Amino acid sequence: MHEKRVLTALRTGGAMSRAELAERVGLSRTTVSEITGNLLTRGAIIVAETDAAVRVGSGRPAERLCLDPSSGQFLGVDFGHRRVQVAVADAAHEIIAGGVSRYADGTPWDERLEIAFALTERLARETGTHLGALQAVGIGVPGPYVGDQAGVPEISWNRSLAPRGVDTAFAERFGAPVIVDNNTRFAALAEAISHKSAVSDLVYVRLSDGVGGGLVVAGRLVTGGRGFAGELGHVTADPNGATCRCGKRGCLETVASTPAILRACRERGASVGSLDDLAQALARRDPAVEAVLREVGVTLGRVLGATAMVLNPDEVVIGGEIVHLAPVIVEQAAATLRFELYSIPAAEPVVVRAAQLRDSDGAVGAIAALFHQSPLLAEYAEAAPPAGSSPSQRRSTS
């Protein structure tokens, strides 16, 4: 916490001496010297100059310290089905480099890792960012990530899931501790802390190629007993519905994933092959498309309503590119959800809103998960150890 204040002072106040810093943050000079010594060693800050030029009187000139503008402190990586995103944040939590590399759907995971490494190192080169002082790496992956938990089987029906060992590969490459988790869960966390005052109870769902979710309960990300919490996409929305890739019928994903929505539009005669087509159909107020989106909103609102009845969240957040093109989904889901919560009195009804972060901000969500200053991460996860240290449990399940 003291370190954070020192870093904030340097970010907002520019270069200053240890004495000025001590006065500004209200800490003793001894404490400030300890903190800045550590930050210098880690490469988070640098000695900018001495104060000889501005100094009045005699005596040894004092060093002036400032943030190293080229030092990456936090690396965020987001693996999607067809692309990987990378973002680097500095000690002040500002994003200083970011980029994306695409790959074919179904690309093996060892290739995806190499693509991510190459992207990260290219970004560092191009932006003059050095990665020697990385404090931590956050990695979002599609679907649940079971890490090295004993006794948890892989999911056979979802071939895009990350294999065990992603954490170790990054820890070895960058010599920093690594947290890996489902990217939708990271997005939930990023939404919860996207306000000035963090929201402590939040339900997040993302409509994408699939439908995923994440929960923040009492200020903490929820993993569940076995690491599979938040699987809103496979809640049964209609026991007589379409067959899902998981084997059940009528999962929320069979109604509210982007492909399912586009398919439903086509079945009603709308010529909608892509999200762009959907946006155009909405612009010309295609009634079949409007009806489909309303129905999706109702189904989504029912599933979210049952979840909200059980968890009593402050906010319900709906993410995915489609909700930004078709806000009617959020509007209808909000109306249905509020009726589902009819039994519960509320001075202020639950907030239902579209996500603030877009799908293209996945790496930012992973970085948000690294900012341990957030009370939301207290006791959530222990980062994977850097290469060379002994293996330990990645995720707290107790």
Spatial separation of the C-alpha atoms in residues 124 and 127, rounded to whole Å = 5
What ranges make up the beta strands (E) of 126-184? 136-141, 178-182
239 binds its own copies (CB under 8 A): yes
38 binds its own copies (CB under 8 A): no
> Residue 140 corresponds to which tokens in the numbers above?
């979002």
234 binds its own copies (CB under 8 A): yes
**C-beta of 19 vs 344, nearer to its own copies:** 344
Site string for its own copies, 126-155 (x = CB under 8 A): -------------------------xxxxx
User: Which positions ≥6 away from 207 have C-beta within 8 Å?
Assistant: 256, 257, 258, 261, 300, 318, 319, 320, 322, 323, 329
Task: Say which DSSP state 68 is in.
Answer: -
8 Å CB contact between 110 and 169: no
Task: Say which DSSP state 71 is in.
Answer: B
The size of the interface with its own copies (CB under 8 A), counted in residues, is 61
**C-beta of 119 vs 298, nearer to its own copies:** 298
Site string for its own copies, 371-390 (x = CB under 8 A): --------x-----------
State in angstroms the smallest separation of the CB of 109 from its own copies. 18
235 binds its own copies (CB under 8 A): yes
Is the dihedral angle over the CA atoms 31, 37, 39, 45 positive or is it negative?
A: positive
Residues in the chain: 398
340 binds its own copies (CB under 8 A): yes
369 binds its own copies (CB under 8 A): no
Residue of 266, 269, 241, 267 whose CA lies nearest to 254? 241
Spatial separation of the C-alpha atoms in residues 341 and 160, rounded to whole Å = 35
49 binds its own copies (CB under 8 A): no
188 binds its own copies (CB under 8 A): no
Tell me phi and psi for residue 374, to 5 degrees: -70, 130
State in angstroms the smallest separation of the CB of 149 from its own copies. 10
395 binds its own copies (CB under 8 A): no
Footprint of its own copies (CB under 8 A): 151-157, 199-201, 213, 215, 217-220, 222-232, 234-236, 239, 244, 246-248, 251, 302-303, 305-307, 309-314, 339-340, 342-348, 350, 379, 396-398
